[in-house]
A and B are shown apart, each in its own frame.
Chain A
Amino acid sequence: MADAHPHAMAPTRPGKTRTAPPQRPPQFPMGGRYLAYTAFGWTGLIYLLLGFLVIEAVWALGDGAAAWQEQLLRYEHPVYIAFHVLALASVVFVGVRFFRLFPKAQPPRIGPAKPPPQSLIHGTLYAVWVGATVVFGAILAGGLF
Chain B
Amino acid sequence: MKHLLLKIEPLIWLLFGQGILLGTILLTGWILVVNLGVPLGLISDDGLAFQRAHELGSSLVGRLVLAALCALPLWKGAHHMRHVSIDSGGAGRDAVVAPLLYGVAALGSLLAIAAVIRL
Instruction: List residues of chain A with CB under 8 Å of any chain B CB.
Output: 2, 5, 28-29, 38, 40-52, 54-55, 57-59, 61-62, 64-65, 68-69, 72, 75-76, 80-81, 84-85, 87-88, 91-92, 94-95, 98, 102, 128-129, 132-137, 139-143, 145
Q: Are A140 and B87 touching (Cβ within 8 A)? A: no
B10 interface residue, CB < 8 Å from A? no
Additional pairs, 12, CB under 8 Å, beyond known A29-B87, A84-B35, A87-B35: A29-B88, A45-B80, A47-B80, A48-B78, A54-B66, A55-B70, A58-B70, A72-B39, A75-B35, A88-B36, A139-B56, A142-B49
- Tell me which of A51, A61, A65, A132 has the highest count of chain B C-beta atoms within 10 A of its own C-beta: A51
Q: Are A88 and B118 touching (Cβ within 8 A)? A: no
- Name the residue of chain B whose CB is nearest to the CB of A134: B29
In the complex, chain A residues whose CB is within 8 Å of the CB of B99: none
25 A–B contacts, CB within 8 A, in A order: A28-B87, A38-B84, A42-B84, A44-B84, A46-B77, A47-B27, A47-B73, A48-B81, A52-B108, A58-B66, A58-B115, A62-B119, A72-B34, A81-B39, A87-B27, A91-B28, A137-B29, A137-B37, A139-B47, A140-B33, A140-B34, A140-B47, A141-B33, A142-B48, A142-B52
In the complex, chain A residues whose CB is within 8 Å of the CB of B21: 98, 102
A94-B43 in contact given A68-B53, A69-B50, A133-B32 (Cβ < 8 Å): no
- SS class of chain A's interface: helix, strand, loop or mixed? helix
A88-B31 in contact given A47-B74, A54-B66 (Cβ < 8 Å): yes
Q: Are B29 and A128 touching (Cβ within 8 A)? A: no
Q: Are B29 and A84 touching (Cβ within 8 A)? A: no
**Docked CA distance A9–B69 (Å):** 40
